[in-house]
Chain A
Amino acid sequence: MDRRNFLKTAAAISVALPNGKTKAENQNVEKEFYGVLVDTTRCIGCRSCEVACSLEHNLFVPDITKDNAFNSIRDTSEKQWTVVNCYDTAKGKVYVKKQCMHCWQPACSAACLTNAMFKTTDGPVIWRENKCMGCRYCMVSCPFDIPKFEYHEWNPKIQKCKMCYERIIDGKKPACVDACPMDALMFGSKRELLEIARYRVYSHPEKYEPKIYGEYEVGGTGWLYLSPVPFDQIGFRTDLGNTPYPEYTREFLYAVPLVLFGVPALLLGLNMLTERKNEIGKTEELNHE
C-alpha cells in the first residue's frame, strides 16, 4: 500500500468512525483545489446559472424573462449570490457571470478573527454561521467586494457564493455549472482548467484576449475567466496586483510576537537604567555631604 492509498483509507476510516471528524478541515489528504473556468465568449446571457443558484440555496429567484436586468450593471447581493452582467464592447455584447472568486489565499478568511470565513481544502471559501460575530472585516478586506451582509435582520448572515460546497463533497458539480447550457462554465482542478484555457487561447487567438483572469490575480483565484476583450472593459479590476492579500498583513503579524517580547524587555531595561542613575546620584550626594 503506497502512502497516498494509505492516507485515503485512513481518511475513509476516520469518516466511517462514529466519533471521527468528518469535516474536510481535518483531513490531511493532499488534494488540489477545485475551481471553475468561465469562458465569456460562450456565455449567451440566459441566466440559468442565476436561477439554479437561487433555487439551490433558497435565495431570491429572479424572473429572468421579465426583469430587464441587462439594462444596468448589477452586483451580487445578500439575496443573490451570482449575477450575469452584459457589457457592450468592440466585439459585441459580452456576458459576464459574477460571484465569489474563491481566492487561493483569501483575504476574507485571513481577516476573519473567528475562522467563520474558511478556505476548505477542496477550494470553496465557505462561511460558518455559528462562528461569525458579524464584524464585517471580511467585507472590508475582500478585493472583489463579494461578502454581503444582511443589514435588515436582527440576526444577520454574511451571504456569498460557496461554490456549492455540499455538492462538491457529494461528488457533484456546483449548481450553476450543471445548469449552464453552453458549457461556458467548466468545473475542475485549476491545473486542468488552466491547460484547457491556454489551449483555447492558443488555438483561437483572434477570439480571445491572451490573458486568463485569475491565473495570477491576488495570488490566483479558484474561478478563472477568458474574455474576447481586455478585462477592464468587462467590469474586472485589473489593478489588484498579483500579491495574495494576506501577505499585506504578514509583516505586521510577524512583528507582534517580537514586540510583545522585545518591548517589555526594553521598557524594563529603561526603568532599571533610570533607577541606577538615581542611585549614583544619591551616592554622589552622600559623598558630597
Chain B
Amino acid sequence: MNNSQSIQSEIKRFLKFFFQELKPQGKWLTPFNIITIPIIIVGLIILYFRFTEGLGSVTNLSQKYPWGFWIGFDVVTGVAFAGGAYIITFVVYVMRVEKYHSIVRVTVLNGLLAYIFYAGALVLDLGKPWNIINPIIGNSFGYNSVLFLVSWHFLLYMIAEFIEFSPVIAEWAKFEKLRKILNSLTLATVIFGITLSTLHQSGLGALFLMAKPKIHPLWYTEFIPILFLVSSIFAGLSMIIFEGTISHKVFKKLIDPKHHHSFNEIIFGLAKGAAISMFVYYFFKALIFVHGKHWDLLNDFWGGWFLLEVIGLVLIPCFMFAYSVRNKSLGIIRVASILSLIGIILNRLNISVITFNWNVVDKYIPSWQEIVVTLMVISCELWVFRWIVTRMPVFEKNKNY
C-alpha cells in the first residue's frame, strides 16, 4: 500500500514538473525561431498534401527514381552522421578512455534524436505507412530482405540509445532509484548498440547491393557495406567536431569553463581518429578502384565527379586533419570536418540518388517541397535538442555521478 502510494505521488510530482518544464524559457523572437517556425509550418502544409494526394504531388520521384532526397539524405546520410554515438560510447564505455566522458551525453542525445527524426523521416516516404507494423509484429517477416534487418535495427537501436540516455532523464526528473537501475544497464546497452550500429551502418550500404545494374560502376562494389561502415566512423567524428563547435558557442552558459578547456583536447583526439579512419577508407577506395579496373571510366564527367569525392573530400580533409593535429590548429580542423561532412553527403547521395540510373535521360532533381520537408525535420530535431539541453543535465556533469 505504502509503496504504491509513494509511486503515485512520485508520478504526480513528475507530471507537474514536466508541464512546468514544457513552458518555453527565454525570449521568443530569437533568429533561430524566426527562421525555423515558418519552415516547420510550410513543411506541415506540404506533408498534408503528401498524405492526401500522394507522394507524386510534392516530390519529383519517378518510376526510375523510386528513392530520392528523403531516403538519400535524411535516412542514409543522417544515419551516417549519427555514427558518432557508437564510436564515442565504444571509446568511453568499452575502452574506458575517460578523456571523452564529458561528451558522451550530448553525443548519445544527438544520436538518439538523429535516429528518431531522420529514420523517422522514412515514414514520410512510405506509400502505406500504416503497414509499417507488418515487419515488426510478425504477420509477415521478410527475413530475406536487407531492409528488414535495417528497419529492425533502427528500432532496436533507438531503444538502446534511449536507455543509454535515460539516466540523464531520470536525473532531470529526480528519480534517484530509477537512475541507479538505468545506469547499471549502460554497459549492456552500449555493447548492444555498437553491434547494431556496425550492422545497420553497413546494412544501409547493403541495401544497394541488388541495384547492381543501376549504380555507376565507379561506385558500385560488393564492398559497399564495408565502405559505409568505415566512412560512418569519420562521418560521426566530423559531426561531433562540427556540432560540438557550434553548441559550445550557442550554449556557452550551460557549459562549465573547465569542460570548455578540455573540449579542445577532445577535438584533437577526434581529429586524429578521423584522419586515420579516412586514410584507411581512402585505401579501400583505391583498392576497389584497382580491382575493378576502372581506369577508362575516369575520362568522362562521372570520373571527375568520382575524383572530386574521393580525393577532394576524403584525402584532402584527411591531410588537413593530420596537419591540424600536429600544428594544434582548431580552425583547420573545423574546415576539414565540414569538408568531410560534405564528402559523406556526396558519397551517400551518389550511391542512392545521383549515380543511380546514371544513364537515364530524365534525371531526378529534388523538388523544393522535398528540401523544405528535410529542413523541417532538421528544425524539429534542433527544437527538441534545444529543449532537452536547456533543461536536462546534458552538458554539465552531475556532482554525485
Question: A contacts B directly in the complex (CB < 8 Å)?
Answer: yes
Q: Which of A152-208 contact B (CB under 8 A)?
A: 152-156
Residues in B neighbouring A260, C-beta threshold 8 A = 195, 199
Instruction: Report the nearest B residue to A259, measured CB to CB.
Output: B199
CA–CA, A239 to B87, complex, Å? 40
- Count residues of B near A (Cβ-Cβ below 8 Å): 61
Residues in B neighbouring A239, C-beta threshold 8 A = 213
Of the candidates A112, A139, A240, A278, the one whose C-beta lies within 8 Å of that of B145 is: A112
Whether a CB of chain A sits under 8 angstroms from the CB of B127 is yes
- Judge whether A139 and B66 touch: CB under 8 Å: yes
Instruction: Report the nearest A residue to B195, measured CB to CB.
Output: A263
- Judge whether A259 and B195 touch: CB under 8 Å: yes
Instruction: Report the nearest B residue to A275, measured CB to CB.
Output: B96
Whether a CB of chain B sits under 8 angstroms from the CB of A150 is yes
Contacts A115-B140, A274-B96; is A133 near B132 (CB within 8 Å)?
Answer: yes
Segment at the interface with A among B48-56, B304-312, B313-321, B391-399: B48-56
> Per DSSP, are chain B's interface residues mostly helix, strand or loop, or mixed?
helix
Whether a CB of chain A sits under 8 angstroms from the CB of B390 is no
Instruction: Report the nearest A residue to B196, measured CB to CB.
Output: A260
- Judge whether A246 and B210 touch: CB under 8 Å: yes
Instruction: Report the nearest A residue to B123, measured CB to CB.
Output: A133
CA–CA, A147 to B381, complex, Å? 34
- Count residues of A near B (Cβ-Cβ below 8 Å): 57
CA–CA, A110 to B202, complex, Å? 18
A136 to chain B, nearest CB (A): 4
Q: Which of A239-253 contact B (CB under 8 A)?
A: 239-241, 245-246, 248-249, 251-253
Segment at the interface with A among B57-65, B101-109, B171-179, B325-333: B57-65
CA–CA, A245 to B213, complex, Å? 10
Residues in A neighbouring B51, C-beta threshold 8 A = 154
Whether a CB of chain A sits under 8 angstroms from the CB of B212 is yes
- Judge whether A274 and B64 touch: CB under 8 Å: no
Of the candidates B62, B145, B212, the one whose C-beta lies within 8 Å of that of A113 is: B145
Per-position 1/0 for B151-190, Cβ under 8 A of A:
1000000000000000000000000000000000001000
Q: Which of B360-391 contact A (CB under 8 A)?
A: none
Residues in B neighbouring A268, C-beta threshold 8 A = 191
- Judge whether A111 and B210 touch: CB under 8 Å: yes
Instruction: Report the nearest A residue to B55, measured CB to CB.
Output: A151
What is B's interface to A at a CB cutoff of 8 Å?
Answer: 51-57, 59, 61-64, 66-67, 90, 93-96, 122, 125-129, 131-132, 134-135, 139-142, 144-149, 151, 187, 191-192, 194-195, 198-199, 202-203, 206-214, 222, 225, 356
List 29 A–B pairs whose Cβ atoms lie within 8 Å, in order of A's numbering: A75-B63, A111-B145, A113-B145, A131-B131, A132-B128, A132-B131, A133-B127, A133-B131, A134-B128, A135-B147, A143-B212, A149-B63, A149-B66, A150-B54, A153-B54, A156-B54, A156-B127, A245-B210, A245-B212, A248-B209, A252-B146, A252-B209, A256-B149, A256-B199, A260-B195, A263-B195, A263-B198, A264-B195, A271-B96
Given A135-B125, A263-B194, A271-B96, 10 more A-B residue pairs with CB atoms under 8 Å apart are: A110-B144, A133-B135, A135-B127, A248-B210, A249-B209, A260-B199, A267-B94, A268-B191, A274-B95, A274-B96
